[in-house]
Structure 1
Amino acid sequence: MPVISSKGLQMPESPIRKLVPYAEDAKKKGIQVFHLNIGQPDIETPEAALKAVKENDIKILSYARSEGSEEYRKKLSQYYRKNEVEVDHHDIIVTTGGSEALLFTLGSVTDFGDEIIIPEPFYANYNGFSVANGINVVPIVSSIDDDFALPPIEDFEKLITAKTKAILICNPGNPTGYLYSREELEKLKNLALKHDLFLIADEVYREFVYDGIKHHSILSLEGMDEHAIVIDSVSKRYSMCGARIGCIVSKNKNLIQTALKYAQARLSSPSYALLASEAALETPSSYFENVIKEYDARRKVLIEALSEIEGVKVSRPKGAFYCIAQLPVKDADNFAQWMLEKFSDNNQTVMVAPASGFYSTPGSGKNQIRIAYVLKKESLIRSVELLKLALEQYPD
């Protein structure tokens, strides 16, 4: 029998999607499932983006440029300038989602056996992207006790070896919702400069920040032109997850030229999605004001409700639309599956993402879950009621 590659066998399951078959079985039984497992916003996509696809007069749906059209990249650079990031269109490679941007970036800056340092818990697919590129994730643990703030910079430095090529952060964070301060980013900057490392920041949730706190891009840090790489996407910003359009942004010309070769190898991003993404850049600021106001309200409702459940500890996110909750169970994977297979109240149950898949350290996060507050407030309140009932009935 032909043998599957060890790399393929090492690819981790998605903690976000691996329980989907159990959710589908529950729905077949007539049970309503509240999906808190996936960051799929229920916010409407900007009308301008949808119109660009519906009302175009394209006769031949041809290839786009591998790096994205010059017009789109120029508009993207204007968007970044509005956000105090001075880049031009030559500093941007358009990709098929933020996922491809990460794959191209890791492929461009690492060789087989190299290492990247990532504060954990982190976006689960960072593990998969690393396995796909044959590189090793070196985790540094952050704690729910301080809402997953940046670990001491001395702890980072202890992990740096001759194989270390980059530090990767998500800001604001998925799955934690943590927002790094300017001071924390400066510490990472100094470390990257001292050891000649890349600092990669996944900034796809840039718009979603709360409590009057400001988001700072690593591209705004002085002296980082050769070291800073930003990963971005339209998916969450404009509620366009299905468009699969992202980008790499960096002033490092060698990095951009190398990533372009990866982009050329896959030919181009999807043309209709590029049309929609370019049109989305015309979205008025009022759209974001309303969206952020709604997410902030959901955040407060969710955190307050979770905090009232005995034995539950919850982080307090400052950005994105996720939080980590620590449950009074031994194994959150089993608990999440049990809720879909054997628990319901008034024919309703809830689906969450077990947090162990957001860690690289074996055994970490076993009693934690990630919750995406992408449902309306009433649904979030009911979901927490169901979670509370499930914890009371769970035969742990």
Structure 2
Amino acid sequence: MLQPSQRGVALPASPYRKLSPYADAARQRGIIVHPLNIGQPDIETPPAMLAAVQNADIRVLEYGPTAGTVSYRQKLATYYQNLGLDVTAEDILVTTGGSESISFALLACLNPGDEFIVPEPFYGPYNAFAISTGTHVVAVASHLENDFALPPVEEFERKITPRTKAILICSPNNPTGYVYSRQELEQIKDLCVRHNLFLLSDEAYREFCYDATFTSALHLQGADDHVVLLDTISKRYSACGARIGALVTKNKTLRDIVFKLAQLRVCPPGLGQLLAEAAADLPEDYFDHTKAEYLARRNLMVSRLRAMPGVRCPLPRGAFYVLCHLPIDDADLFAKWLLEKFSYRNETLMVSPASGFYATPSLGRQQMRMAYVVNQDVINRAMDCLEVALREYPGRSH
């Protein structure tokens, strides 16, 4: 009998997509399902970005440069420079979404069997990226009780072994919304320099910081060869389907290796780059409305959750996710029950059980992530459903 690869079998299901078949079945029964499971914004993609593709005079959609078009990389470099980052077009390799930048970073920085340290909970697919690249996640736990702040740097240092090659951080954090302070990042940077580790920095949500100041890993001094910035336009411009990201590093040797990896997929999406390049010409105040809307949505969701008995919910300071503790036995069972057995006013909600955002099996069993990427009316209706569901759920804990 033919056997698939052990790597493929070991890949975990997506923590935010694995319940989609149950949601589809609920919709087929006529139930309205509010999608709080995934970070897909409902704010419109800027019309100027879409127009750049719609109005393009293209006769042949040909291969583009492996690193991305020069014009887009130059505009992206200007975007970073406006954030105070010392970045040139030569430091940038355009990727097929942020996902490819993560994969490229692990393949270029680590050998099979090597380890990278990451605070948990973390972006769920990091587990799958580790398996697909033959590397290993080593988790350092952060805790809901202190808002998922970065664990003490001593806990990272205790995890370092001869196989450790990198520390991976995400700020603003998905799934917790925590924004790492400059002091916290300086400590991690110093640790990476001291132990000769790469610092992989996932900065997909940098535009959305509400009660904290954003610091990029590339703002830090004295670590140019160590820092690899992982980026995407998906969230900041509501352009998830464009599949345009970037890997940015001042380390030329590493950049050359990533370029060879990128040659395997030839080039990033051409139409997506047209759309992304148009984003660079948006007015400086573009993010003001978007950020204000997400802030209002965050405040609404958090206030509704905190009013529910037994729910504990830190205040996320960035991104657009809430990771909360619920008075239930098991968030995976509860999330499935919401779609299979429950409805309120013919409505229910789809959430992401938090177990998929941890590497430690015992953690996150009573937590779930919800994305406040839908409008405030939908948030209120979803919270109405959740409030009733928590009263009716047979596995409620006390």
Q: TM-score, normalised by structure 1?
A: 0.99
| 3-state SS of paired residue (1:269) | coil
Q: Deviations over 1:114-134 (max 9, x none)?
A: 000000000001001110000
1:71 aligned residue: 71
Q: How far does residue 377 in structure 1 lie from its aligned partner after superposition?
A: 1.1
| 3-state SS of paired residue (2:254) | helix
Q: How far does residue 281 in structure 1 lie from its aligned partner after superposition?
A: 1.2
| 3-state SS of paired residue (2:53) | helix
1:239 aligned residue: 238
Structure 1: gaps (5+ residues): none
2:267 aligned residue: 268
Q: How far does residue 285 in structure 1 lie from its aligned partner after superposition?
A: 2.3
The whole-number CA distance in structure 2 between the counterparts of 1:86 and 1:48 is 28
1:187 aligned residue: 187
1:320 aligned residue: 319
2:223 aligned residue: 224
Within 5 A, what are the aligned runs for 1:18-33? 18-33=18-33
Within 5 A, what are the aligned runs for 1:111-126? 111-126=111-126
The whole-number CA distance in structure 1 between the counterparts of 2:130 and 2:283 is 37
Across the aligned residues of Structure 1 and Structure 2, the Cα RMSD in angstroms comes to: 0.7
2:138 aligned residue: 138
The whole-number CA distance in structure 2 between the counterparts of 1:238 and 1:65 is 23
Q: Count residues with an aligned counterpart.
A: 395
| 3-state SS of paired residue (2:221) | coil
2:368 aligned residue: 369
The whole-number CA distance in structure 2 between the counterparts of 1:78 and 1:221 is 19
* Percent of pairs with identical residues: 50
1:173 aligned residue: 173
Q: How far does residue 48 in structure 1 lie from its aligned partner after superposition?
A: 1.3
| 3-state SS of paired residue (1:59) | coil
1:392 aligned residue: 391
2:342 aligned residue: 343
Q: Deviations over 1:134-182 (max 9, x none)?
A: 0110000000011100001111000000000000010000000000000
The whole-number CA distance in structure 2 between the counterparts of 1:284 and 1:214 is 21
One-letter code of the match for 1:388? E
Q: How far does residue 81 in structure 1 lie from its aligned partner after superposition?
A: 0.5
The whole-number CA distance in structure 2 between the counterparts of 1:357 and 1:182 is 28
The whole-number CA distance in structure 1 between the counterparts of 2:350 and 2:359 is 22
1:84 aligned residue: 84
Q: Deviations over 1:262-313 (max 9, x none)?
A: 1111101111111101111111122200000000000001101100000011
The whole-number CA distance in structure 1 between the counterparts of 2:12 and 2:281 is 38
The whole-number CA distance in structure 2 between the counterparts of 1:151 and 1:267 is 40
2:62 aligned residue: 62
One-letter code of the match for 2:67? E
The whole-number CA distance in structure 2 between the counterparts of 1:358 and 1:300 is 23
The whole-number CA distance in structure 2 between the counterparts of 1:233 and 1:275 is 15
The whole-number CA distance in structure 2 between the counterparts of 1:32 and 1:200 is 39
The whole-number CA distance in structure 1 between the counterparts of 2:180 and 2:283 is 26
Q: Deviations over 1:175-219 (max 9, x none)?
A: 0000000000000011001101001110010000102x2201000
The whole-number CA distance in structure 2 between the counterparts of 1:82 and 1:287 is 14
The whole-number CA distance in structure 2 between the counterparts of 1:209 and 1:44 is 20
One-letter code of the match for 2:103? L
Q: Which runs of 4+ in 1 moved over 2 A?
A: none
| 3-state SS of paired residue (1:230) | strand
Q: TM-score, normalised by structure 2?
A: 0.98
Structure 2: gaps (5+ residues): none
| 3-state SS of paired residue (1:349) | strand
